[in-house]
Amino acid sequence: MTTKVVYFVVDGRDEQTEFCSDDDTDDLKETFRAAAEAGPHDILKLYNKKGNLINISPRLSENAPDSRYKLEVVAAQCTGEHSTMASRLGFDLSVFDERLCALEKKVFVDNGDMPETVVEMKAKVEELKQKLEGVEHLSWLGLFKDISSGTSLKPFWDKQKSLKKSEQHSKRVFQKFMSMSKVQVTDEVREYLHKPTFDNWQWDESEMLILLRQMFIDLGFVTRFNIELPVLHNWLYEVFTNYNLVPFHNFKHCFMVAQMMYGLTWLIDLPSILDDIDILTLITSAICHDLDHPGYNNAYQINARTELALRYNDISPLENHHCSVAFEILEKQHCNIFRNLKRDEFRRVREGMIRCILATDMAKHNEILGNFKTAVQHFDLNNKDHKSVLMMILIKVADISNECRPMEVAEPWLECLLQEFFNQSDLEKLEGLPVAPFMDRDKVTKPSSQIGFIKFVLLPLFEALGILFPKLEPHIITPVRKALDYYTDMQNALEEEKHKKESSNSVGKHNGISNQVNGKIQT
C-alpha cells in the first residue's frame, strides 16, 4: 500500500497529512474537515499555489512544504450577503439539513427504522453540497456572473473578472521568454517538437513561446517573409496575453494545436504540396484560432443573446471573434509579423486565416468533411477548392487532436474540457437556458463523453485525411482507435460496477424486508 503526503495551510496554520492509496474521496475530506475543525455540513474548498480551485480526490497531487495548498471552510450556515445569494439561487442547504435532522430524530424515536426516502433525501443534499465544493463559479462566495439583475445577460463577458491574466504574471512570462530567447533550442527538442506524441505538460508558458518561435525559424518563415525577431517576440507575447484563464481553450491549447499542425507539416511533407504562404497561413491560424475564448461555446452565446451573438447574427460568433482579435493584434505595427509581405501575399494570408479559423466551428463539421470526402476521390492540388478544403481539414484535425497523443497527455486535456463543459452547463441551468446532455455533469462520464465523439467525429475525420496521406495511419489514426478501446473498456467497467452495486442494493433491500416480516411474525 503506497502513501502520499500533502502539505496545506488552514486558518494560518501549516498542516500536513498522509493518505493511503486505497483512501477514497470521503476519507480525504474527513481528514481535511478534522484539520479545519469543520462541521459535517460545512463546505471545503482547496486551492493550489496559483489560487486555482482544485478537487479533493484521491488524485490530489503530492506537494512540498513550500508549495502548500490552501484549505478554506465555507460555513453551511450562511448569513448576510451569502444568505441573500443562496436565496437568489433558490435554495438554502442549512434549512435542508435542519429539516432532515429533525425528521431523522422523529423517525428514530417513533419507529426505529430509517425510511428509504429519507436516506435518498440525505444523499441528494450531500451530492448538492459536494457539487458546490468543486464548482467555484456557482458557490455562494464565488458566483461567476452577477444574477442580482435577473438572467438577461447581454454582455459577452466581464473582462475585469478572473478570465484575464494578471499584468504581473504576464510580465514574468515575458521576462523569462526574453531571457530564454538568447538560448539556442537543442536539436533533440527541435526533433521532439515534430512528433504527435509531444507532451505539453512538461513545459511552462515561456518555454512554449520559445518553441512557437522555433517553429517560425525552422520553417524558414523568418527569412522567407523577412519577419524581424523583435516583432515576432511582440506578436507571440500579445497572442499569449489574449488567451484567457479558462480550463480548456487557453494558451496551452493554442500551443498544442499549433504543435500538431507543425508536426503534420513535417509528417506529410506539406512543403512539397503547399507553398510557403499556405503553410504560414496554417501555422498562424492554429496559433490564433481560439484567441480571447471565454470558456462558453457558441450555443451559449446564441441562447444567452450575448453581445457577440448579436454582433455576428448567430453565425459562428466565437470563431468570428477569434479572427477579429487576431487581426486587431496584427494592426499594431510592433506586432505585425506580416508587415513585410507583399500586398497580394497579405491578402492571401488574411483570406486563408479567416477561412481556416471559421472552419473550426464544429457546426460546420459535416459540411466540410463531406466536401473533403468528395474532393479526395479525384484530388487535384491545382484545384483551388480542393486545396482550400484540405487546409480546412488540416486545421480541424489539429484542433481536436488530443486523442492522438499518449493517454497520459490526452486524459488531462479531457478533464480540462469536461470542467469547461460543466461550468457552462451549470450556468445554463442557473439562467434557465437549454443544456446539451454531453455538457451536463449529472449525465456525463469520461468514457460516455469520448466514445461517441471518437466514433462519429474523430475517426471519420482522421480516416478521410488518411486516404490522402496513408503515412498518417500509425501516427494519428491508430492511437485514436486505441483511445476508443480504452474508453470502451472504462465504460464497460463502470457499467459492471454499477450493475454489481444495484444487485447488492437489491439484495440488501430484500433482506431488510424479510427481517421486518420475520420480526412482525415473531412479535
Residues annotated as part of the active site? 249
Provide the b/e sequence for 505-516 (b: ≥16 CB within 10 Å).
eeeeeeeeeeee
Cell 504527435 belongs to: 196
Separation of alpha carbons 462 and 220, rounded Å: 28
What are the φ/ψ torsions at residue 69 (nearest 5 degrees)? -75, 160
Reference 404, options 190, 195, 188; nearest CA is 195
Dihedral (CA of 493, 494, 496, 500) sign: positive
Q: H or E element: which one contains 507?
A: helix 478-522
Separation of alpha carbons 335 and 221, rounded Å: 15
Alpha-helical regions (H) of 111-243: 116-134, 167-180, 187-192, 205-218, 221-224, 229-241
Reference 78, options 28, 129, 122; nearest CA is 129
Separation of alpha carbons 44 and 59, rounded Å: 17
Amino acid at 285: S
Separation of alpha carbons 122 and 41, rounded Å: 11
Distances in Å between the Cα of 451 and the Cα atoms of 455, 456, 496 are 6, 9, 17
Identify whether the C-beta of residue 232 lies closer than 8 Å to the C-beta of residue 213.
Answer: yes
